[in-house]
Amino acid sequence: MADYDVQLLAELIDEACRPTPIRKLPPRKRKRYHADAVVRTRGKVVAALAEGIVPVNRQHIRDALCDAAIHVLASGGDGADTIRQVLAAVFSHDLDAPQAMIRKVKAGKIIPKFYKSA
């Protein structure tokens, strides 16, 4: 029976027609629903970014924190030592990498994604 038929029958017997919960959909329909939701969400993010609005999500938070670290390293401000320690710990397998990154930041080769200083 089609969804329309179920809705029509529900209206005839004066009952609220409730769609099938997503968790109870067959696997193929559930995957399609989630795929469509991802497409809609990504479209909203692209539209917001085009308007100059940065939606708050995990990736944008990480990008903003990265922008802050880039500015702190470039200016040598408070916290630069902590950022250098984190880089040294994360890239401990390559002792030259942290200094190379810092040089690139100071040379302007690694630039912030969202925040541009005045």
pLDDT in tens, the chain (118 residues): 567 677 777 777 766 667 788 888 899 999 999 999 999 999 999 999 999 999 999 999 999 999 999 999 998 889 999 999 999 999 999 989 999 999 999 999 999 999 887 5
Same domain for 70 and 36, yes or no, is: no
**Do 18 and 40 belong to one domain?**
yes
Query: In this predicted structure, what is the pLDDT of residue 77?
Result: 85
- Claim to verify: residue 43 and residue 26 sit in the same structural domain: yes
45 and 9 co-located in one domain: yes
Is residue 79 within 8 Å of residue 97, measured between CB atoms?
A: no
Q: Which residue range forms the structural domain that includes residue 40? A: 3-50
Residues 62 and 100 in one domain: yes
Residues 78 and 41 in one domain: no
Residue 51 sits at φ, ψ, to 5 deg, of -90, 0
Q: What's the structural domain count of the chain?
A: 2
Question: 44 and 68: one domain?
Answer: no
